[in-house]
Structure 1
Amino acid sequence: MNPTPVVLAAISVYVVSASPPPVLRDAISSIRPADSGDVGLILQGVPGTSDAQNVSLSSAFHPATGILCRRRRSLPEGGSRFSQEDLEGDVADMFYDVVTQHLPGCHKMILYGTGRNSLAGRVARALGEAAFVWAMETFLASSAPPASVLRHPHHLAEGSYCLAVLMLADLQAVGAATRLTQRGDWFQGADKMVLAYTGHGLLLEDVSQDPILVHAFRVAPKISLGSTDPHRSTHLPQDFQGHTFSIVTMKYAPFSCYDKLPDGGVSLHDCVDTRMLNAMASLLNFTYTVREPEDGHWGYKLEDGNYTGVIGAVQRYEADFSLNVAFTGDRERVIDYTVGYFNDPLTFCTTKPRPLNQALALVKPFQPQVWLGFAVVLVLMGPLYFFSCRLEDQKGEGEENGGERGARTRLEEQASQSARWSVGNGPRMLVATWIIFSLVTLTSYVAMLTASFTLPTLSPTLNSLEELVESNFAWGIQDQGAADYQLLMTSKVPLYQQVFQGLDMCPSLDECLLRARDSRYAFITWRLYMEDRIAIRFTTAAGERQLHVAATDFFPSEIGWATNPGCPFRHVFNRQIRRLLEAGLISKWLKEIINDPKRREADSQASGPSSASPVDGPKSLGLNQLQGVFYILMLGCAAAALAFLLEMGIAASK
């Protein structure tokens, strides 16, 4: 009778922080550099059992990030179990193989649970070098020391500072210790490699006791145990094996755009995040479903420390990850972010500046000093013409232009086309100069008057928060529990506190923009999000905006995807996002989508005609532009009436 092959133990190795040592990168092609804070599992074991068919073993970390080491041994003939010493020896040998082959330049720390004292000693002896040995309960209950325990890299390290954490405990303790290793203060700055031996086969119902572990199992492929090779390193699949991710998001054009479906899901449109998601899904072999959060919020912090909306769904493992969200320090305490791929600051928009009253439009083409110069020239031209004619008369040229004509007569000649002008060269030169001066002045006046009618002087605009809070404008944000609300609510800056206290919420993006356009209301939101909607819905075909966007920004924020705390595949997404950034694809897609005329057409079909005013032809002059002429006419009529009454009074007195 042939001996029955039995899996004695299996160990999974996962890179937990910034960059593994070169020896690990060179030795295991399936292990990739992970980002600081990524957490992985599991080193798992199957104690001696004669029923290989009942063994259920899965990788609890994302494929392409780990290595599965397996040891198998055949039961002796007639035997049904191995001795405890044999089991501990096999586990110790497995740890030794993995650590010495792939992590020789890392410090070693052994965490052992209840009843694993003997196994911890066996592993420590097998390593053959100094190692930190902690009881798991003590480690979980202790605080990190104020100074780093490890001050120098391992003597075999090539300049890196790494730590191999060997866990010998049950599944619950492994989950707690892994979380503490990842997000706690222990060994900050080290590249942490977590190896864990649970001592039994890992079934999904067992893993479900810990949210981080169950999430890792949910995206991991099943590993076949068909080989009988006593020592084997199996490279895991390099993709997600068709796994379906659950994604949560909100509308945020031009990054995430969609239509709601009757079943509660959403159908994505062509936007930046959609293109990113499809490119990564094709490369990494996964599918996805997308939905909105039930409360319709992006997510802000509640008093109990939990979050609403998109952030809350990711925090509670109700979704695998989200599309674009703004990075904030408060959110980073409960979720993990991918690398950012766009910076979008907060700003605000207000009503378009209005033309000022044009009652003085007729005098605005020239400054007061110019008008004063015109008056002086007009007054002096009569006497100059008079004296030039007198000089000509004294030379005997043109007796009829004799000296009996006074300055009043010369002024009348300048104003009358039927008057007989002097035939002398001097007066002619003076008149010619006057005509040229008048022609240039008139041309300049007409040009400036036309320009002032075409581009009238506008009312002052608001371009900073300081100006906004000092104005008589109301202000507010869109009521969707987003990062702008969280940032203003938690800020200690007096200006931002004043802005938060005066917030007047509005329900939707279009309603907020309409209110800002038609009233004294400032709408505060993210710049690109606002400008994209203004370009589609509040801009004429001639490119004229219907709102004024402030020139200054505040609260600059990076945009990226949110993943579960301790997400085991975050670094895989990070690597792909970096590739898209380095290739310039995200910038290219953003420009294409923003400038796509089909989006405006589709919006018009879905929402009706644009809210922007239609393009008109040349505008006729109205009373607003020509009111100054009527004021002059009324002043002239009033002066004439006053002169008439004065003459009547003088005549009556005689």
Structure 2
Amino acid sequence: MGSLTHLAAALLFGLLIVKPSAVMQRLSATVAAEVDIFGNMEAIQASTVMNLLAEQYTPQCLRAVIMPEEDASSNKLTQYFLVHAKDFVEAERLLLDQRLRKEQYIVAIIPQKNQNSSYWRVIIRQLLHPSGSPKVLSVNKWSSVTGLANTNDIFPDQMADFCGIKLVGSGLYYRPYVDYEVVEGSRVVVPKPSIDINTLDAVAYKLNFTYDIVMPADGEWGVLKDDGHWTGIMGDVEFGRANFSLGLVMMQERANSLDPTMMYFMEALTFITAKSPPRAPWQNLITPFQLKVWVCVVVSVCGGVLNYHVFYHIQATISTSRLLESHAFMRILASFLSQSLYGYLWHAAGRVYLGFWFLYAFLVTTHYKTSLTSNLAVPFIPPPLDTLQQLLGSNLKYGLDENKGSRHQLFSTSRLLLYHRMWRNMQFYSDDNSMRMVVEGTYSYINYRSFLMIQMLRHNSNPKRKTDLHVATEEFFPTGSVWFLPKGAPYMKNFNAVMWRCVEDGLINKWLYDLYAVYVKEYEDQMSSQEQQDTAIETDTRLVVFTLNHLQGAFFLFSLGHGCGLLLLSLELLLAPHTSST
């Protein structure tokens, strides 16, 4: 870039004594030949802004268009302007014109004479000045005899040093990207360590500026309105209320209105739900077998009672007493409880039947007891939801945050059938309300993975153990995090250079891991001493000790038996007088 810059300067100053048409002709041929090294370049006509300026000024304007080496891969062109003004007043008025505020490389030259010779005075402007407003500076002299008087750069990088001025960034609270403390009664917030704030600190240090972070007045990320303008953070940058945004993701609709920086962090959307709770303890009595198995067992018991009664009845016709149906039931049931029978059948058919019945009862009870034991020791937990299809087919409600942003834009405008179906039932709540409903097990919150991981840490009752919340494994709408700057912002290149160093040096990932540790520590500090003690006791427990909760089903069964017994006793007492009278 330096060689081309000096080439342009030398050509322009060396040809000032030539007629303007010859200057432009020779300049175009020489510069085009030099730029062929970097690729093809088409002839570029005078810019619109210079045409507008021509209505009020009458300087001779020579323009060179150069492709710097560092921008060759992105095929971006940088414009260099040299303006011939008649006096300092005209040069100052031109250089400070607001319509040129986004042009970095513009120089004015003024003819000067003294007693012995004539020369050209070189005037540049400093866009960023400690006073807060642009200033015009005289940096060099040129004559046909001595050339340039010094080696000062006449096309300096205007954005390399912001001279301590204050910029304004617009952002919303969104851990781990943007974190701050709200100041009551003010949109200006107090920033706290987070990915975007740490990156901004590095950019501000390198480029020498300070900053304020403000919340958008409408509290929104930004959606495109029907009139083509934006709300929220995007609107703050679009209408000049902020110099840059924080915590936004790349979307083509946004890039059409504002200029995005490089992507410094890649991420995708997913959703968070409460893990399915274990089944009620009393259900452990019936869950070892499926419903079909229970039906088969009940039918087999009924058949066993009938067969046992028949066999005993046949035997009774020969030599023994008869067997009541209730006794037959109790004896068959006893075989499932490893109880011996009295009053065995003595003929061969009955003994063969009982032998196979005992074997059947042994196998059924063994399977039941082993399954029951495992259920009591390790309760069964239904698998969590991991895909949008599973979420759509569940009975959970789902939704997005109420601050309209990229997620709102995706589901509301997407033509994908799944997104369209979900949008019809989408709900919108604040982060706190959304997570409260997630913890209650009635809601699923859709957001970016890193943000949901922070929310999971925040709502986890014990950060040292497995959380009761689950972040789905499926990811969708992958995108990158960027900052948005006004269209044509001259400091875009400088911001990108520092941000790229942060990414290249691995600082973004390091900050993310460090922030996770900070958030865990922060939540632990919020726990009371008794909660921490209970956590330590639970964490050190290595043996599974059965509690009343584990044996809930047994006590329910015990109560059910007593209830049935009392009911039958009451019926017998009611029917006893009638039976005796008959």
Give the whole-Å Cα distance in 1 for the aligned partners of 2:52 and 2:17.
Answer: 19
Matched, 1:230 2:151: no
Give the whole-Å Cα distance in 1 for the aligned partners of 2:223 and 2:80.
Answer: 35
- CA deviation vs aligned residue, 1:596-653 (integer Å, no higher than 9, x gap): 2565249849xx99x99x86957641786446624873697499879989x999x989
Q: Is the 8 A contact 2:271 2:447 kept in 1?
A: yes
For 1:249, the equivalent position in structure 2 comes to 171
Matches within 5 A, 1:592-631: 592-597=514-519, 600-601=522-523, 604=526, 620-621=548-549, 625-626=553-554, 629-630=557-558
Aligned partner (choices 342, 345, 348) of residue 268 of structure 2 = 345
Matches within 5 A, 1:120-135: 120=21, 122-128=23-29
Q: Is the 8 A contact 1:338 1:560 kept in 2?
A: yes
Aligned partner (choices 362, 374, 387) of residue 285 of structure 2 = 362
Aligned residue type for 2:503: L
Give the whole-Å Cα distance in 2 for the aligned partners of 1:192 and 1:246.
Answer: 28
Cα deviation for residue 120 of structure 1 reads: 4.8
TM-score (structure 1 length as normaliser): 0.59
Give the whole-Å Cα distance in 2 for the aligned partners of 1:68 and 1:602.
Answer: 63
Give the whole-Å Cα distance in 2 for the aligned partners of 1:546 and 1:95.
Answer: 80
Aligned residue type for 1:629: L
Q: Is the 8 A contact 2:187 2:216 kept in 1?
A: no
Q: Is the 8 A contact 1:120 1:168 kept in 2?
A: no
Distance change >3 Å, CA 567–CA 172, structure 1 → 2: farther
Distance change >3 Å, CA 529–CA 122, structure 1 → 2: same
Cα deviation for residue 214 of structure 1 reads: 9.7
Cα deviation for residue 219 of structure 1 reads: 4.2
Aligned residue type for 1:528: S
TM-score (structure 2 length as normaliser): 0.66
Give the whole-Å Cα distance in 2 for the aligned partners of 1:203 and 1:496.
Answer: 55
Aligned partner (choices 542, 561, 578) of residue 633 of structure 1 = 561
For 1:480, the equivalent position in structure 2 comes to 403
For 1:509, the equivalent position in structure 2 comes to 431
- CA deviation vs aligned residue, 1:341-396 (integer Å, no higher than 9, x gap): 2222222334442333555412434668998899999x99xxxxxxxxxxxxxxxx
> Can you give the 5+ residue segments of structure 1 that lack an aligned partner in the other structure?
1-23, 29-65, 72-88, 97-117, 132-153, 381-403, 420-432
> Can you give the 5+ residue segments of structure 2 that lack an aligned partner in the other structure?
55-62, 86-90, 106-124, 305-319, 321-327, 343-358, 539-544
Q: Is the 8 A contact 1:248 1:321 kept in 2?
A: yes
SS of the residue aligned with 1:595? helix
For 2:36, the equivalent position in structure 1 comes to 157
Distance change >3 Å, CA 283–CA 438, structure 1 → 2: same
Matches within 5 A, 1:173-322: 173=52, 190-200=75-85, 201-203=91-93, 206-209=96-99, 212-213=102-103, 218-219=127-128, 224-226=138-140, 230-231=147-148, 234=153, 236=156, 239-244=160-165, 245-261=167-183, 264-322=187-245
Q: Is the 8 A contact 1:68 1:236 kept in 2?
A: no
Give the whole-Å Cα distance in 2 for the aligned partners of 1:484 and 1:413.
Answer: 63
Q: Is the 8 A contact 1:246 1:320 kept in 2?
A: yes
Distance change >3 Å, CA 479–CA 653, structure 1 → 2: same
Aligned residue type for 2:479: S
Give the whole-Å Cα distance in 1 for the aligned partners of 2:193 and 2:380.
Answer: 41
Percent identity over the alignment is 21
Q: Is the 8 A contact 1:211 1:317 kept in 2?
A: no
Cα deviation for residue 478 of structure 1 reads: 1.6
Give the whole-Å Cα distance in 1 for the aligned partners of 2:27 and 2:219.
Answer: 55
Q: Is the 8 A contact 1:162 1:190 kept in 2?
A: no
Q: Which has the higher helix share?
A: 2
Q: Is the 8 A contact 1:163 1:190 kept in 2?
A: no
Cα deviation for residue 589 of structure 1 reads: 1.1
Give the whole-Å Cα distance in 1 for the aligned partners of 2:443 and 2:334.
Answer: 60
For 1:582, the equivalent position in structure 2 comes to 504
Cα deviation for residue 122 of structure 1 reads: 3.4
SS of the residue aligned with 1:556? strand
Give the whole-Å Cα distance in 2 for the aligned partners of 1:534 and 1:326.
Answer: 22
Q: Is the 8 A contact 1:348 1:525 kept in 2?
A: yes
Give the whole-Å Cα distance in 2 for the aligned partners of 1:119 and 1:208.
Answer: 26
Aligned residue type for 1:157: D
Give the whole-Å Cα distance in 2 for the aligned partners of 1:360 and 1:524.
Answer: 33
Aligned residue type for 2:413: T
- CA deviation vs aligned residue, 1:65-119 (integer Å, no higher than 9, x gap): x779768xxxxxxxxxxxxxxxxx96672799xxxxxxxxxxxxxxxxxxxxx73
Give the whole-Å Cα distance in 2 for the aligned partners of 1:502 and 1:121.
Answer: 69
Give the whole-Å Cα distance in 1 for the aligned partners of 2:94 and 2:403.
Answer: 36
For 2:379, the equivalent position in structure 1 comes to 455
